[in-house]
């Protein structure tokens, strides 16, 4: 089996838990995933099976869509409701103020990542330092928020939808939104509704996989934003041996299709831009 499965991850499972379950169900060890989700989060997890595990880099979308819920008045050490409360503060907000603050986050900005995250500093993950009460300078990174809109506000709870760049931490975004509202806040719920072209409407549950009732997405469907080049027998013989070929495509990367199958992904050869060399080999023989 070679392809991509979109899983609707349930709350309480790590992304690794999902892979472990699918390994047993599908009886294969060649399974990976892109775009890790925290245990508290639900929604779209892109899982690669068989040779599709080679595609993780290409499938890691630049933008992701989330529906996030935050509770005003408290902040936890993990920045979500599973953590220990470290700050409490009163709040006085209304819908207009919330919309104004959300809008202020549009575009590019610098975000401080959560202390409880898997980013490594000097070979150790940040959460390892945090759990051992070791102070360390937390990294900052540039993020880009493409859209952010209020869904609802009731009592102490705000729910919003956002489309954000790869590497954006919604927990940190919620913290920063609360600060701009002159209070504190923590994440109580998170659903990833899209990762690139993969939407939650087209996802499968683990139970679907167990019941053999799921959609396996092909290379061609998953990488439909890349150019496809149909190759002849002569070119196929070169490609299957990992040879350099004439670059008969416009962009720097293209999928090579032989008969009915995508057999390789080739990219422009830097030393001679009229040629192309192997990038990812997907050939089955």
Q: Is the pLDDT score of 187 beyond 70?
A: yes
Quote the longest CA-to-CA distance of the chain. 72
pLDDT tens for 18-75 read 999 999 999 998 999 988 898 999 999 999 999 989 988 888 878 999 999 999 999 9
Identify the pLDDT of residue 284.
Answer: 67
Give yes or no: residues 96 and 69 share one domain. Answer: yes
Give yes or no: residues 169 and 256 share one domain. Answer: no
Identify the pLDDT of residue 229.
Answer: 94
Q: What is the CATH number of the domain that holds 234?
A: 2.30.130
Give yes or no: residues 142 and 216 share one domain. Answer: no
Instruction: Please tell me the distance from the alpha carbon of residue 63 to that of residue 194, in angstroms, as a whole number.
Output: 8
Give yes or no: residues 78 and 165 share one domain. Answer: yes
Identify the pLDDT of residue 215.
Answer: 86
pLDDT tens for 195-222 read 988 999 999 999 999 999 998 898 888 8
Give yes or no: residues 31 and 83 share one domain. Answer: no
At 128 the three-state DSSP class reads helix
Give yes or no: residues 69 and 177 share one domain. Answer: yes
Identify the pLDDT of residue 137.
Answer: 79
- Residue pair 161/65 in contact (Cβ under 8 Å)? The answer is yes
Instruction: Please tell me the distance from the alpha carbon of residue 52 to that of residue 1, in angstroms, as a whole number.
Output: 9
pLDDT tens for 67-112 read 999 999 999 999 999 999 999 999 999 999 999 999 999 999 999 8
Give yes or no: residues 82 and 136 share one domain. Answer: yes
Give yes or no: residues 104 and 171 share one domain. Answer: yes
Identify the pLDDT of residue 126.
Answer: 81
Give yes or no: residues 67 and 180 share one domain. Answer: yes
| Residue numbers annotated as active site | 38
Give yes or no: residues 109 and 149 share one domain. Answer: yes
Give yes or no: residues 240 and 201 share one domain. Answer: no
Q: What is the CATH number of the domain that holds 29?
A: 3.30.2350.10
Identify the pLDDT of residue 57.
Answer: 83
pLDDT tens for 148-163 read 999 999 999 999 999 9
Give yes or no: residues 153 and 139 share one domain. Answer: yes
Residue 241 structural domain: 226-281
Instruction: Please tell me the distance from the alpha carbon of residue 30 to that of residue 72, in angstroms, as a whole number.
Output: 43
pLDDT tens for 245-278 read 999 999 999 999 999 899 999 999 988 999 999 9
Q: Is the pLDDT score of 285 beyond 80?
A: no
Number of domains making up the chain: 3
Q: Which residue, 61, 11, 65, 12, is CA-closest to 33?
A: 61
């Amino acid at each position: 089996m070679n392809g991509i499965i979109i899983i609707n991850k349930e709350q309480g499972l790590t992304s690794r838990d999902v892979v472990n379950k699918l390994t047993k169900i599908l009886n294969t060890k060649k399974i990976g995933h892109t775009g890790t989700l925290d245990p508290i989060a639900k929604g779209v997890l892109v899982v690669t099976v068989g040779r599709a595990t080679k595609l993780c880099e290409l499938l890691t979308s630049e933008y992701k869509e989330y529906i996030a819920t935050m509770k005003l008045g408290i902040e936890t050490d993990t920045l979500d409701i599973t953590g220990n409360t470290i700050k409490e503060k009163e709040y006085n907000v209304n819908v207009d103020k919330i919309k104004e603050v959300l809008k202020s986050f549009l575009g590019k900005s610098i975000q401080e990542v959560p202390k409880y995250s898997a980013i490594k500093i000097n070979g150790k993950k940040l959460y390892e330092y945090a759990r051992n009460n070791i102070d360390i300078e937390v990294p900052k990174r540039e993020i880009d928020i493409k859209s952010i809109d209020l869904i609802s506000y009731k009592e102490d709870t705000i729910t919003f939808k956002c489309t954000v760049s790869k590497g954006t931490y919604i927990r940190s975004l919620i913290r920063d939104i609360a600060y701009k509202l002159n209070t504190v806040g923590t994440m109580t719920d998170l659903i990833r509704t899209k990762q690139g072209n993969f939407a939650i409407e087209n996802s499968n549950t683990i139970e679907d996989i167990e019941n053999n009732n799921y959609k396996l997405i092909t290379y061609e469907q998953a990488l439909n934003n890349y150019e496809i080049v149909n190759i002849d027998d002569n070119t196929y013989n070169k490609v299957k041996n990992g040879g350099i070929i004439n670059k008969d495509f416009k962009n720097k990367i293209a999928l090579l299709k032989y008969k009915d199958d995508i057999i390789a992904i080739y990219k422009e050869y830097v030393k001679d831009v009229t040629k192309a060399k192997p990038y990812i080999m997907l050939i089955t023989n």
